[in-house]
Amino acid sequence: MLKRTGSQLLNNLVALAGAVALTGALFWATNAQSIASVSPLEKEISGQSKRLSSSNEEERRDALMRLGALHVPEASRASLPGLSDASPMVRAVAANAVLSLPAAESVSALLPLMNDKDEFVRREAAYALGHTKGRSATTVLIEHLQTDREVGVRAAAAVGLGEIADENAVVALSSVLSGSTKKAEKNVFVLRASAVALGNIKSRAGTPALIAALSNAKFPGDVRREAARGLGKIGDPSAVTALQTAASSTDPYLADVAYNALKAIRH
């Protein structure tokens, strides 16, 4: 009887040990499968997201650059905290890191940066808004084109409007180029960017301002060249006379651009 009981006990212990081993094996197998199911992309996003909590500004900036370089919505969403970082440099980098989000979401996240105290942040936000192609950014960019105290921000706003290519911006861009705003724009970078933007929008409503800029001998050569190039993109026949005059200019670069613009209109 004792032998039988001892034998049963031994069998029970062996069975229990086997069950424990099996449970452990199942646990580790499940855990390993879970770990294996995390993709390299997810690991990268998670790792860079943790770096955004670093006390080192350069590390946070680098993390945002790496997240932005992944070009996926998940990485851009992980970058959103950077938009409110204490460092202007980090906020500026974050503006570009969120661009893989849907346009509406990107615009919504970026618009608050247009009120940032730092010029560099506002400038990068304006460029980024242009990259979104989101027309809901047009009104804010127009406001900064017309009123921002910093040249770099005004020029970036013009570039952004050209990328969005919303015809609602034509009046504002034309006013800047023609000098009919409350405070006439004199900066060559802003004038040139406005001319480029009008050409990119390709609305005939911008033709008069571009003709005026092309015909203004007091304007710098590069502004007049961009006006001619813009007229070629728009293709409005009413610009032919002004372009013919420019095609005979003593400025060989202007003459060449005007000649090519005429070819574009005639074809």
184 shares a domain with 234: no
Q: What DSSP letter does each residue of 129-178 carry, written as one string?
A: HHHHT-GGGHHHHHHHHHH-S-HHHHHHHHHHHHHHT-GGGHHHHHHHHH
Last residue of a domain, one of 152, 173, 197: 197
CATH of the domain at 234: 1.25.10.10
Cα gap 204→13, rounded to integer Å: 90
- Tens of pLDDT, residue by residue over 43-58, are 999 999 999 999 999 9
Confidence of residue 6 (pLDDT cuts 50, 70, 90): low
- Tens of pLDDT, residue by residue over 130-172, are 999 999 999 999 999 999 999 999 999 999 999 999 999 999 9
- Burial label for 123, CB within 10 Å (0-12, 13-18, 19+), is buried
Last residue of a domain, one of 174, 197, 220: 197
Give the per-residue pLDDT at 37. 74
84 shares a domain with 116: no
Residue 28, in any domain of the structure: no
Q: Are 228 and 243 in contact (CB under 8 A)?
A: yes
Alpha-carbon torsion angle 217, 218, 224, 228, nearest 10 = -40
Mean pLDDT in residue range 99-117: 97
Q: Are 160 and 194 in contact (CB under 8 A)?
A: no
Residue 118, in any domain of the structure: yes
233 shares a domain with 179: no
Per the structure, the count of domains in the chain is 3
Last residue of a domain, one of 163, 179, 197: 197
Residue 26, in any domain of the structure: no
Confidence of residue 13 (pLDDT cuts 50, 70, 90): very low
Place of tokens 């405070």: 183
Place of tokens 């033709």: 207
Domain hosting 81: range is 44-101
